[in-house]
Every structure is written in structure tokens, then in C-alpha cells.
Structure 1
Amino acid sequence: MKFRLEWKHKLKNNEKVQCTSEWISGETAIQMGEELEASGKGSELYFYDEKGTSWILKEMKKLLTEIEEDPHEVTVYFDGGFQKETYQAGLGVVIFFNQGKKKYRIRANEMFDEMESNNEAEYAAFYYGLNILEDLGVKHMPCEFKGDAQGLLKQLQGEWPCYEDVLNRWLDRIEEKIKALDINPTYTVIPRKDNKEADKLASQALEGKEIFSKMLIL
């Protein structure tokens, strides 16, 4: 999670100037807050997250202690594959996240029946990624979603309309899940070459190779 600080900086003539920091990590924010308070030049100090929730320094320290063991700094790569002959989809997801002082990677895939198109497979893959986040206990935090499904990501951003009923139903499911998890999503369209791992997992699912692994990244 990223935070920004707001405080009033006391000048030598006792005049106070309202100041705001850039978006920084929680640890850096606490260090900066402690130094401001120790200097005596900072007053009315508040920390804000990307949703606008605010904390004082004592509350901020407690918050970071509480979320330290929860998954955070979450990035999800997703991709869907489709077999026209069988109307089956392969769903592939790669998730990076921090927990405690460690960083992990999850690789997972799943086969899905009764798909209508490759586009629908992409929506199903995104939803599959959300279900894994739910199982991990990811809630109330920013998450970045990366994929080469430009149409889906632009629709989730509200930039492109969706005219297909089947895809609109998937969009409704996705948006309901995002709301239920209370995550703050950002969407990044990436080239297909940068999404090879999720693509491979989707292909392996279509070949009947089920994968779910969690690896500590050193």
C-alpha cells in the first residue's frame, strides 16, 4: 500500500505552511512522520491511503503491524486460452505478493467448460484470479491486474463499452467480486510477450495439466 503525509510545517517566524508528501511506502511514511515529530517542526500530522482514509502516527504504526502478515503489494497476471473444437477454456494466473518480509509467487491454472470464445476465456481468467485473491485473504488494499486482454481492461476502466451479453455478465461478476473484496484495482495492458507465464499456464490447463504452486522468491 502507498501512503501520503499531510502536516503543517512550522517556520522560524512561527508561521505554519501546509505540506503534502508524495505517495510512499508505509515504512517510509512512518520514518518520515517520526522525524517530523522529533524535529518539532511538524504538527497536525496525518497519513492518508489511496482511498482517503486517514490515521495519526500511533494509528499508522498499529495498522502496519496488523497488515504486515496479510498479503499486500499484490500484482496479478492473467490469461485465457480457448479450444474451439471442445468449447473449453484454459485459465492461467500468476500472482506476486508480499507477506511479512517475504515475497511470494503463485502460479495456478484451471480448465473451464462451456466457453463461447477466446474473449470469454479472458474474462473467466480474470475472475479466477479474483477467487484466488479471496482465498488468500486479500481485502481492503490496492491490487494491480496485468494482461494483454485490452478490451476487458479498458471496459473495467470504464473507457470502452461492452456490447455482448455474455461478456457483460462476466463484467458484472467481476465488479461484484471486486466490491466484495473492497480492493482498489489498477489495470495495465501489457504486450503478449510480457504475459508468457500466464499464457503457458492457460495452455497447460487445456492439455489437462493442473498446476497450483506457491513459491518464496528470494
Structure 2
Amino acid sequence: MKLIIEWAYKTPNGAETIFQSKDMSAEKALLFSKDLERTGRTKHIRFIDEYESYWTLKELNTYLNEIETEPHNVTVYFDGGFDVSTNKSGLGCVIYYTQSGKSFRLRKNASSIEHRSNNEAEYAALYLGIEELEQLKVHHLPVQFIGDSQVVINQLSDEWSVVEKVLSAWADQVEEKLNQLGIQPEYKLVQRKQNAEADRLATQSLNGIDITATSELAKE
């Protein structure tokens, strides 16, 4: 979850103004807010999330304590590839998340002969990522989904209408599963080079290499 800190600042002569920070993770927002409080000149600290809802310091502390042992700060990269010569699709997803104060990366790929286009493979790769979130027991959290498919990202962001029946069915399936898990999606379109991990997993699947792996990431 990304938050903006909003706080009132009072000078020694009594003048007051309101400041807002740039958006940051909830953990970092809590850290900065505690430091601001120590100045003795800050009051009325509150936090604004992506949906323009306001949080008090007490509410944020409670939320972070509740999710500490569950996966959170979740980002999903996805990519699908389709080989027209074999009618085989390769799906790849990479999930970054935080749990119990540690950072993890999950990599997963799969292949299928059920799809008929690259766009359908891209939707299937996204759905693969959502299924992995369900296995991780991710629920009732904002999650960022990142891919290089203009079709999938723009259709799910309601930038483009979904005309093809097959893709419409995939979009409905994605939204139904997200609603079931209580996940609030944020979709981000990137260039292929920024989606290299998921792209490589999809290609490896097309080449018959199956990968399922979770690793802890070193702290920065």
C-alpha cells in the first residue's frame, strides 16, 4: 500500500501550514511520521491512500501489525507467449512481496495448448499470477499488476473496450477472482525490457523448462 503523509506544522511564533509528502510504502510512512512527531512542531498527522481514504496514525499501526505475518506490499509481473507453429502458449509470473519483515520473490511458469492467441496467453499469465496469490493467501490488499501487454492492461484499466468474446470471458474471470480475494488491482503497462523476468519464464515454459521457486531477497 502506498500512502501520502499529510501534517500540520507550527513554527515557534505560532504560524501554521500544511505539508504533504510524496507517496511511499506504509512502513516508510510510519517511520517518517514518528520522526516528524519527535520535532515537537508537528500535529494532526494523517495518511492518504491510493483511493483517497484517510488513515490515522493509530489505524495505520493497527493495520501494519495485522498484516505483518501475512504477505503484503505485493507486486505481480506477468507475461504470456504464443507459438503459432505449435499452438502452445507459455505463461510466466514473478511475485514480489514482504512477509514477517523479509522480502521474497516467487517465480512460476506454465504451458498450455488451450489458447489460440498471444492476447489470450497474456490473460492466462495474469490469471496464473492471481492463482499464485491465492496460494500465498493474499487477500483484501491492494496489488500492483505489471505487464507489457497493451491489450490486457488497457482493457482491465477500462481504457479500451473488450470486443472479442474470448478476451471478454478472460477479463470477467480475472475480475471475479480478484473480487473473491478482495484484491484491489492497480495495472501498470511497461516496456518488454522492464518485464524481462516474466518474459524469460514464459519463454522457458515454451521450451519445456518448468520453474516454481521462491527465494528470500537480500536487504538493500
Bin the TM-score by the shorter chain.
0.7 to 0.9
- Cα distance, 1:40 vs structure 2: 4.0
- Cα distance, 1:121 vs structure 2: 0.7
When the two chains are superposed, the root-mean-square deviation of aligned CA atoms in Å is 2.4
Q: Which position in structure 2 is the counterpart of 1:191?
A: 191
Letter of the 1:138 counterpart: V
Instruction: Choose 193-202 or 147-156, whichever is displaced more.
Output: 193-202
- Cα distance, 1:86 vs structure 2: 4.6
Q: Which position in structure 2 is the counterpart of 1:100?
A: 100
Instruction: Choose 157-166 or 12-21, whichever is displaced more.
Output: 12-21
Counterpart CA distance in 1 for 2:58 and 2:86 is 58
Determine helix, strand or coil for the equivalent of 2:213.
strand
Counterpart CA distance in 1 for 2:136 and 2:192 is 27
Q: Which position in structure 2 is the counterpart of 1:211?
A: 211
Q: TM-score, normalised by structure 2?
A: 0.84
Change (3 A) 1:22 1:203: closer
Determine helix, strand or coil for the equivalent of 1:46.
strand
Q: Which position in structure 1 is the counterpart of 2:10?
A: 10
Counterpart CA distance in 2 for 1:206 and 1:65 is 42
Q: Which position in structure 2 is the counterpart of 1:73?
A: 73
Q: Which position in structure 2 is the counterpart of 1:177?
A: 177
Q: Which position in structure 2 is the counterpart of 1:32?
A: 32
Change (3 A) 1:130 1:60: same
Counterpart CA distance in 1 for 2:213 and 2:35 is 42
Q: Which runs of 5+ in 2 are unaligned?
A: none
- Cα distance, 1:175 vs structure 2: 1.8
Change (3 A) 1:158 1:2: same
Q: Which position in structure 2 is the counterpart of 1:45?
A: 45
Change (3 A) 1:81 1:38: closer
Letter of the 2:106 counterpart: I
Change (3 A) 1:191 1:35: closer
Paired residues for 1:30-179 under 5 Å: 30-179=30-179
- Cα distance, 1:76 vs structure 2: 1.7
Q: Which position in structure 2 is the counterpart of 1:23?
A: 23
Letter of the 1:151 counterpart: V
Instruction: Choose 190-199 or 118-127, whichever is displaced more.
Output: 190-199
- Cα distance, 1:15 vs structure 2: 5.4
Q: Which runs of 5+ in 1 are unaligned?
A: none
- Cα distance, 1:130 vs structure 2: 1.0
Q: TM-score, normalised by structure 1?
A: 0.85
Aligned length: 218
Q: Deviations over 1:141-197 (max 9, x none)?
A: 332222221111111222122211101110111122223333333323233333333
